[in-house]
């Protein structure tokens, strides 16, 4: 049986390929150090786990949950946005619970895209922005994120005829994979652009709580008028080390939130209520958990940046995320360098072209392992490639 065209258009998912390479290397007896997937290695905080245990013992949580999420959890999300960003949200109409932000990012295109419609996609970027667009029958229009523009899209270079046809614009700061950050001034430009061209902004805010050295990441929704043109995807995965729990929310413009909730009500049955109540415990609790996570990643970032500099790379410490975006040495493509480092050093790095065509010439390092293993990975890379030339 021939597969549907929407499936035939999809590339193999980047991180599935990385997991396969790790498994193959381990089968050969290689001690693999993975600097690939951005999956926090720290445990979920104890008070969140205890809240899950209590909620799981409550039989009232064993039935189908609401497709849009428990009002108690959604209220905790709005309280977090008020405390953290001074953004006011109505938990009844401006929040929908997600089974991880990836699910919401993939589903939002189904709410607005008809075959042939356009979404504006950052490149390099999280692959799901484009994948969701393709699955809904749309066409991704790439917004290049270039080093010379601090990895922000140049909105002035998007033709009016493209912008007028576009339905959604995806933005993501702090950024995966580049680690770049955005200012409120940039978000003001985005709001003005969205109003001019009547499009919806989808802000992926997965890394706002992974910041260092006094930097505080803003929310897109802090800008006046942002809630009129878009939504933000907020995830508990990174700030609370809850990647496997699959819990998040989309917040912002009421009709967009309603549309996303409506499509979810037809294709999933919502997040397990015990998980929602555990997430509520995280959101309502002390932010010292987040501060400790920031400290850990900052130390790892210091170690890795220093090590890369010793190898010949010239780079600054990112202000946010747990990623470092690095140019490949002369004479390699992104994929060739990643293959070489795996073969010669037993170290997994992510080739930049896996995040789009403008990622070619770069690779990404994820700091979701301890400092000792990061140091060992850098030592292996030095032994394998020596001092690099750019």
pLDDT tens string 256-273: 999 999 999 999 999 999
- pLDDT higher than 80, residue 388: no
Confidence of residue 249 (pLDDT cuts 50, 70, 90): very high
Query: In whole angstroms, what is the distance from residue 6 CA to residue 3 CA?
Result: 8
Mean pLDDT over 22-50 rounds to 89
Own/partner pairs for 6-10, CB < 8 Å, 24+ apart?
Answer: 6/134, 6/135, 6/137, 9/134, 10/131, 10/134, 10/135
**Overall pTM surpassing 0.85 (yes/no):** yes
Local confidence band at 19 (pLDDT 50, 70, 90 cut-offs): confident
CA angle 361, 363, 365 (to 5 degrees): 165
List of residues 6+ apart from 314 with CB closer than 8 A: 390
- pLDDT per residue as tens digits for the range 77-112: 999 999 999 999 999 999 999 999 999 999 999 999
Domains of the chain: 5-43+288-385 (3.90.1150.10), 46-284 (3.40.640.10)
Q: Indicate if the pLDDT at residue 11 is higher than 90.
A: no
pLDDT by residue (tens digit) across 209-248?
A: 999 999 999 999 999 999 999 999 999 999 999 999 999 9
């Amino acid at each position: 049986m021939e597969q549907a065209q929407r499936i035939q258009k999809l590339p193999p998912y980047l991180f599935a390929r990385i997991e396969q390479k790790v498994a193959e290397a381990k089968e050969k007896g290689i001690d693999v150090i993975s600097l690939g997937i951005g999956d926090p290695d720290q445990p979920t905080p104890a008070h969140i786990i205890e809240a899950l245990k209590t909620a799981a013992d409550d039989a009232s949580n064993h039935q189908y949950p609401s497709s849009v999420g428990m009002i108690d959890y959604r209220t905790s999300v709005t309280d977090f946005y008020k405390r953290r960003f001074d953004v006011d949200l109505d938990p009844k109409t401006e929040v929908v619970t997600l089974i991880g932000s990836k699910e919401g990012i993939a589903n939002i295109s189904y709410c607005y895209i008809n075959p042939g419609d356009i979404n504006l996609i950052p490149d390099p970027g999280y692959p799901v922005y484009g994948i969701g667009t393709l699955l809904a029958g749309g066409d991704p229009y790439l917004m290049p994120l270039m080093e010379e523009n601090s990895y922000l899209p140049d909105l002035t270079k998007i033709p009016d005829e493209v912008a007028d046809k576009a339905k959604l614009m995806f933005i993501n700061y702090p950024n995966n994979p580049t680690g770049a950050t955005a200012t409120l001034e940039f978000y003001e430009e985005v709001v003005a652009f969205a109003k001019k061209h009547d499009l919806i902004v989808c802000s992926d805010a997965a890394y706002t709580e992974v910041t260092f050295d006094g930097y505080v990441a803003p929310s897109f929704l802090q800008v006046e008028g942002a809630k009129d043109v878009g939504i933000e995807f907020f995830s508990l995965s990174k700030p609370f080390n809850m990647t496997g729990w699959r819990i998040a929310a989309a917040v912002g413009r009421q009709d967009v939130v309603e549309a996303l909730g409506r499509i979810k009500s037809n294709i999933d049955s919502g997040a397990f209520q015990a998980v929602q109540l555990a997430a509520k415990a995280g959101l309502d609790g002390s932010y010292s958990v987040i501060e400790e996570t920031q400290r850990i990643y900052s130390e790892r970032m210091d170690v890795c940046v220093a090590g890369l500099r010793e190898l010949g790379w010239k780079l600054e410490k990112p202000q946010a995320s747990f990623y470092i975006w690095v140019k490949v040495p002369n004479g390699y493509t992104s994929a060739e360098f990643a293959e070489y480092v795996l073969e010669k050093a037993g170290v997994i790095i992510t080739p930049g072209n896996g995040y789009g065509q403008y990622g070619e010439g770069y690779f990404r390092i994820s700091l979701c392992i301890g400092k000792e293993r990061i140091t060992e990975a850098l030592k292996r890379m030095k032994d394998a490639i020596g001092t690099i030339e750019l």
